Structure 1
């Protein structure tokens, strides 16, 4: 099975509980750390899915963080290929931007832990279960 790419933007935003995915579910994670120097090339056909983590920047900070524009292009490729994508915080902002939505600064900070509800994909089961084989 092809790996699931994980985009990390800052050492302060680690994989956290996602680190258990390989041992619990038999998936391979290809972690891309944008805060480390070096060029990164993406090939959507080489990935079975994508997880985009959060970070201290905004989806609009492309002048200061040029790699964000590359991420938006890669997100578009992944979504066009109908591959599962999970965006967390900044990752969700980048997904919205890739889909053509306007992103902007919120008047109030939204930081903390919130409950998440699961939703069954009615077409063919949970997207991540499909990606995991």
Structure 2
């Protein structure tokens, strides 16, 4: 308990000294006249404008207007667990639960008993087989 209190006290003192060191300096102007001494203390004024931000910087948007697809993606509703592959007739990379998924619109390969469709998964673009059954 004593260690916690001493660490807390040290941190408090350190933070207060850092706050004092970071404070703006006070300007003092002394004016002397024949018999009177006047001391004037001025505090600098900090102006904040709408374009200046201390905490956040303006960054370009991640998605630009020219990158937004104008043709809507084809959605596929999976009604059962579906395996996804690295390429048509390739190796299985994972399985998708029943859900609605987006296709990439880049290509589909039609075969006699169904078609291979490229879709987006949480680990990248992969292929699923959509059979006629």
Judge same fold: TM > 0.5, yes or no: no
Q: Which has the higher strand share?
A: 2
- Larger Rg, first or second structure (1 or 2): 2
Q: Which has the higher helix share?
A: 1
TM-score by length of 2: 0.17
Q: Which has the higher contact order (CA 8 A, sep 6+)?
A: 1
TM-score by length of 1: 0.17
